[in-house]
Chains A and B, each alone.
Chain A
Amino acid sequence: MSHLAETFAAARADGRAALIAYLPAGFPTRVDCVPVIAAMVENGVDAVEIGLPYSDPLMDGPVIQAAVDSSLKAGTRIGDVMANVGGVVGTGAPTLVMSYWNPIERYGVDRFARELAEAGGCGVITPDLTPEEAGPWIEATDEHGIDRVFLVAPSSSDERIETVVRACSGFVYAASTMGVTGARTAVSSSAPELVSRVRQHTTLPVCVGLGVSTRAQAADVASYADGVIVGSAFVKALLDAESPGAGAAAAAALAAELAAGVRGASGVGVRA
């Protein structure tokens, strides 16, 4: 069983959903990225997505755009992404990369999968790649034992859901709503229905992302999904902080809150 599959199995054995956190590589800074994520893992994050900063992130709202922009301006390269993955793997959490397609294609599909495997990474989420365009990517990820996660959306027909889940490994990423990343006051009501439709096509874990930022939302999503994915809320906590130290503390506190949410519990202490 892969590390990622073990993580979902362990969460399920606990009677809860897994908490998956996203941060862009090189954010909030090159040196702070891994320590901040380590603090989040210490406070209940089960698995991590490292974003590969890209110049044209058309699925991302303003919060993640700002973070990615600052990381790119600081000179983050794919080598740094791999290094961040290696660092986060050291925390014990299974680590994936979230990347738009062009950087992977340009870097070399096989090279990307191979170097990610060498860094200890376990999977890649590709928000603008559909299975129809993924032929070489499917070969490369199979070759190097990397899970590939495609997305389903509320607009996906049952036929498309079938196509997508057959191409997925690791888990299926269900976009909770029609839109881009960013916190919302309410997680879309279309998410539970989407998850239940996906379950008719696969036994893979189904994780829900887009719009989750609070403990109550995490608890709600955890009641029907296998994983709760949170990105913009962590990024915002770090962008809003007055110092890197304060940012790390805020991200850790948010992790603890969300971890309590996926456990259906109320209130846990923040571990330093």
Chain B
Amino acid sequence: MPTPLLNIPETKEVAAVTQTPEQSDLGAGPDSAGRFGKYGGRFVPEALMAALEELDVAYREAIADPEFVAQYDYLQRTYTGRPNPVTDAKNLSEHAGGARILLKREDLNHTGSHKINNVLGQALLTKRMGKTRVIAETGAGQHGVATATAAALLDLECVVYMGEEDTQRQALNVARMQLLGATVIPVTAGSRTLKDAINEAMRDWVTNVDQTHYLLGTVAGPAPFPEMVRHFHAIIGREAREQTLEMTGRLPDVVAACVGGGSNAIGIFHAFRNDPGVRLFGFEAGGEGIESGRHAAKLSVGSSGVLHGARSYLLQDDEGQTIASHSISAGLDYPSVGPEHAWLRDTGKATYESVTDVEAMDAFALLSRTEGIIPAIESAHAIAGALRVGKRLGPDAVILVNLSGRGDKDVATAAKWFNLVDSATVDSTSEVVT
């Protein structure tokens, strides 16, 4: 019997508003081996198999336990600030061929992105499993900040692995994690970005697995991570679907999201999977352009392979060596993607396109100026994609975009990109917090 983690007042009332996942969620894949078609699975050292089996059992018991669900739901309402709104971006419409653009405001969550949805769920699960330490990887820092936040709240030791290159371009988030009491370890191996941070987190996990939960931040990794992380993010789509119906009286024509590992996209896609009239679009980082070779467009030009515990699409050479990705957005700068996206791509259930650094930064500026919303550069890829799709579909279309994060963390990068401050100022900002 797990000990109550929080004193939840008026338990009965909370239980009454608790959402239980629709029954069909459980039947929407993966299969019992954690596979979405040929993707997914568990490609891990044997030493981690026991921990994955333990996690699988604990996760399934937890989400069937009304007490756990109530704890999670309580935190989502009173701490994350759910439900967050959908904003009708009327000024943006004229830049999208007249299409109506609706923004799901995950940027308004506590800690500034959708990441908190998953982190709270897994942190509660960590407590339930009796573990005392969480580790996490982070690219942009959003997942690291969210993990450090939940660890502070639930009194867990927290270590975050972050590629050294990312600690520099996301220096403010490094400081934020440290303020929250986390230890941030810069990873100097390989390409010094997210993929190498995941390698290092896996090495830590295999060494300290007894007391440590690997709080993986996206819908990638070995089973049950892709399914579990989807479960905790599926609230995004459930809310947004309802809100869109209320606001427009109909379902959207398109649901758009950026795709790095793919968690915010799966989170908003999942509720629409049985709506045949709704087209799902994922926008991955085109970096300096596909032809430049410096991009993170694995679903556009990658191939099937195994990385970080699962089979999925991957940027790799002809002998299976991972090719380093590139994007102005640290959160999309990852050479693989969650296995469910690989399956959605192959089955045509979702469409994936790439958005370059330039297109994303143009959309970043446009949303800031037209709607007064500074998006995360990751989310700006989704905005750019929505503008493109809107121009194709025209003024009758309704496009729901997952605005997965806010841009506070990206102000230094944007200031440099748009030449708003002299570079010495930006550099010194980086140094102070690195």
Contact = CB atoms under 8 A, between A and B. Distances in A.
Interface of A: 54-59, 61, 65, 69, 72, 77-78, 101-107, 127-130, 132-133, 150-157, 160, 164, 175, 178-180
Interface string B185-214: 000011000011001001100111110000
Contact of A155 (B42, B51, B308, B320): B51
A78 B210 CA distance: 37
B44 interface: yes
Interface of B: 33, 41-51, 189-190, 195-196, 199, 202-203, 206-210, 303, 305-309, 314, 316, 318-322
Contact of B203 (A128, A164, A180): A180
Q: Which of A54, A58, A157, A178 has the most CB of B within 10 A?
A: A58
Contact of A133 (B42, B303, B308): B42
Nearest to B41: A133
Contacts of B303: 106
A55 B47 CA distance: 21
A150 B44 CA distance: 12
B195 A128 contact: no
B316 A179 contact: no
B207 A180 contact: yes
Given A175-B46, A179-B206, A54 B321 contact: yes
A157 B321 contact: no
A106 B47 contact: no
B45 A103 contact: no
B46 A164 contact: yes
Given A102-B307, A105-B306, A106-B319, A130 B49 contact: yes
Contacts of A180: 203, 206-207
A77 B321 CA distance: 10
B50 A155 contact: yes
B199 A103 contact: no
A160 B208 CA distance: 20
Contacts of B207: 178-180
B329 to A, nearest CB: 21
21 contacts: A56-B195, A56-B307, A61-B203, A101-B43, A102-B322, A105-B305, A105-B306, A106-B303, A106-B320, A107-B319, A128-B306, A128-B309, A130-B42, A130-B49, A133-B42, A153-B47, A153-B50, A155-B48, A155-B49, A175-B46, A179-B206
Contacts of A54: 320-321
B226 to A, nearest CB: 15
A102 B305 contact: yes
B46 A130 contact: yes
A103 B203 contact: no
A13 B163 CA distance: 51
Contacts of A154: 47
A1 B319 CA distance: 33
Contacts of B43: 101, 128-130, 133
B203 A160 contact: no
Nearest to B207: A179
A271 B195 CA distance: 44
A151 B45 contact: yes
Contact of A58 (B42, B46, B199, B319): B199
A58 B202 contact: yes
Given A56-B190, A58-B202, A59-B206, A151 B46 contact: yes
B190 to A, nearest CB: 7
B203 A72 contact: no
B81 to A, nearest CB: 36
B305 A106 contact: yes
A181 to B, nearest CB: 10
Contacts of B202: 58
A160 B316 contact: no
Contacts of A156: 46-47, 49-50
Given A56-B190, A157-B50, A178-B209, 15 more contacts: A54-B321, A56-B199, A58-B45, A59-B45, A78-B319, A102-B322, A130-B42, A132-B33, A132-B42, A133-B41, A151-B45, A151-B47, A155-B48, A178-B208, A179-B206
